[in-house]
Amino acid sequence: MADNTSRPRGGDIHRLLDEAFSGIEMTPEAQDLKEEVRANLMARVADLEATGTSSADAAHQAIDELGDVHELVGESIGDAEPAAGARPASGWSTQSAAFRMARVRPKPAFVVRVVVASIVATAALLLAGLGAAGVLALPAGVTILLLGIGATAVAWIVGDSLVQETTSNHPMPSGRASGYALASFLTVYGLGFGGLVALQVLPLWGIAFAAVGLVGGIVLFAFLGATQTNRHKAWVRQAQREWPQSRFEEEPESAARFGIYTAVIWLVAFAVFIVLSFTIGWVWSWLALLGGFVVMMLVLAQMLFGSRRS
């Protein structure tokens, strides 16, 4: 075990970086890379300090995450001489260095929870499906219970995943993550109820639960997406500034409009679905949902790739 007392204090990231680059010939290419790495290290230290890590420990952790600098220099610059006037270290190599510095491995406890929840969700939904199809002789109440267990497991996976720190994102606040979990539960449960009604396991009154669940889940997803703040870490934000972004990233108002359009499209689609189900029957009512999906994709394509206002 390393002796922490031998470490220089004060979070001296510049001295640690100089030590990491010791023994490397400081060509103009290597110097450019060093300065880019320095900027990424400073951003990583700021991220760690924001979580309560001391300056010194944050500096050492950032350097440790950097890995072998000699290997990094070889990957970024290579043996070939750069062309005259060309930028020696490409943007891709810089992003690779930033990724290695900010890399976060999943916590073992989180992996175990997700695996267990995935098994529970798969088993419960599979049994519910077999019961609804008549393969297993299950009472309607048991089938609904299995559907609830499966939907709860899916919601747990979504919520638990969003509160985890990842290489590119900070953890999502627990309240907002719970909102995404609830939206996932409502959507899965609504789809399940719709399937039970379609297979005549439940009478037509079950369509009300299906509609409430699906519409509630979609509206909640749209609201959370439209009000989502930037969770990206500093190195990802830097990469987004250097590389082309999607229209939704460049224009948050477009993302908000798309969320509203999506909610309206699906509200109308489900209203038409319910009306058709009670008038001309199930044979044709599903076309309303297909139409809603097609319209949503056309709106998405127009908003992402259509002409922009000057």
Q: Residue 75 pLDDT more than 60?
A: no
Q: Which residue has the higher pLDDT, 184 or 7?
A: 184
**Rounded CA separation 284/190 (Å):** 19
Q: Residue 249 pLDDT more than 80?
A: no
Q: Which residue has the higher pLDDT, 113 or 300?
A: 113
pLDDT of residue 14: 78
pLDDT of residue 240: 63
Which pTM does this prediction carry? 0.57
Q: Residue 192 pLDDT more than 80?
A: yes
Q: Residue 214 pLDDT more than 50?
A: yes
Based on the number of CB atoms within 10 Å of its own CB, is 206 exposed (0-12), middle (13-18) or buried (19 or more)? buried
Q: Residue 114 pLDDT more than 90?
A: yes
pLDDT of residue 305: 72
Q: Residue 85 pLDDT more than 50?
A: no
Q: Is the dihedral of CA 98, 99, 100, 104 positive or negative?
A: positive
Other beta carbons within 10 Å of 236: 19
* pLDDT, mean of residues 74-80: 48
* pLDDT, mean of residues 51-57: 80
pLDDT of residue 68: 64
Long-range CB pairs of 70-77 (<8 Å, 24+ gap) are 70/23, 70/24, 72/33, 72/37, 72/97, 72/100, 73/24, 73/30, 73/33, 76/33, 77/27, 77/29, 77/30, 77/33
| 201: nearest Cα among 281, 272, 147 | 147
Tokens read off for 264? 């309206």
Say which residue the tokens 């909640």 belong to: 220
Say which residue the tokens 């509203």 belong to: 260
Question: Which residues are 232's β-sheet partners?
Answer: 169
Say which residue the tokens 């995404």 belong to: 180
Q: Residue 194 pLDDT more than 70?
A: yes
% of the chain surpassing 90 pLDDT: 15
pLDDT of residue 84: 43
pLDDT band at 306 (very low <50, low <70, confident <90, very high): low
Average pLDDT over the chain, rounded to whole?
Answer: 75
Q: Which residue has the higher pLDDT, 222 or 157?
A: 157
- 76-90, 107-121, 292-306: segment of lowest average pLDDT: 76-90
Q: Residue 93 pLDDT more than 60?
A: no
Q: Residue 150 pLDDT more than 70?
A: yes
pLDDT band at 169 (very low <50, low <70, confident <90, very high): confident
Most confident of the following: 74-83, 159-168, 189-198, 255-264: 159-168
